[in-house]
Amino acid sequence: MPSDLPINPSAEGLPLVGVTVVEAGHSVAAPFAGAIFAQLGADVVKVEMPGRGDHTRDWGPPYRDGVAVIYQAFNRDKRSIVVDLSDEEERNGLKSYILEEVDVVIQNLRPGVMEKYGLDSETLCTEKPSLIYCNLSAYGQTGPMRNRPGYDPLMQAFGGIMSVTGEEGRAPVRVGTSIVDMGAGMWSVIGVLSALIARSNSGCGSVVDTSLYETAIGWMTPVFGTFMASGDIPKRLGSAAAQIVPYEVFETADGYLMIAAGSDGLFERLSKVLAKAEWAVDEKYATNGARVVNRHLLVPMIAEIVKTKATSYWEDALNAAQVPNAPLQNAKEVTENEQTKALGIIQTIGDQECSLIGLPLSFNGMRPAFRKQPPKLGEDTDRVLKFRSKTSSKK
């Protein structure tokens, strides 16, 4: 897609060139962290299980070249090695590689797996004090639930996210993307980058711990803050915000429009666009606090007016009045939007018809590009571990 933002086609100049990362992970959280490292220029070596590899290789349809697209989305720019951890020779080969050449290990395997095979943080960091080791677990490293496995939707439920998502009177719903998994991956990256900075000063590595549960709680910071201050259990408000009114999606004559009047001044402008200027001086609506208390009166009146005209009409009118708004777009509309195209965040890999979302970062005005296709299962085992593994010979 044509873009106004230049694309950097190589790793040259990227901030993590020269950093080697071993990703002993599967599904979304650790692979997403690995994908960020890779797109920042690190050499990311993905450790996969014999036979099937990462679970996401099978998470389809859709598939491309026999591999699920979700796997490709989270594993571009990496190398893949297959290691049977139960095989002493292969396990020792991986350990030697880490001790000799690796800067960072990130893992989200089942609790106890890395300890069982002597690849845990305590063992490896003792033998290599400069190593940075990131544990990305389900419930955290301490507490009564530390040994339980977990997945994104479990954490959306257990961490309270589902309790404020959706509408009152209806069944709970999960956020439509894997927000906890991907958030945990981002926290892993933040932790590791911090540790790399610290190591550059001290020469010492460190153990970084994060978890899906902590990430879910972290996303709920303002919700829990409100509860702990008031004692009131927050309710589901659909697209609305608990502390700002109006700040939600309204149905138009032909679609839906998000209106975000986040201040009294913006509400005054909105009132004029809706031909209800008197609302801005009515004590029931003049301040945000009053609007929150009286949302049950105000929001239905706004909804009734907005529904009378098309989305484009309200967009033009609200934009002219400088009231923040945005139409609800589906995946097709987002990918075809001119702003999306201008950013160049949808990228292709080489001459392949494989479009994926790029890194939401640019450096000196240039966004890192995809450098290689997501790896075939175990395609780099021999080159990385420098031995012909039993697993690779069986493929």
Which residues are designated catalytic? 181
N-term to C-term CA, the chain: 37
Which residue stretches of 117-220 are H helix? 121-127, 152-158, 179-202, 212-219
Pairing of strands 132-137, 104-107: parallel
Phi, psi (5° rounding) for residue 8? Answer: -85, 110
Element spanning 64, H or E? strand 63-64
- Residue 290 region, left (φ>0) first, then alpha (ψ -120 to 50), else beta? alpha
24, amino acid identity: A
CB 236 within 8 A of CB 165: yes
Per-residue DSSP letter, 83:
-
Sheet containing 325-327: order of strands: 247-251, 256-260, 325-327
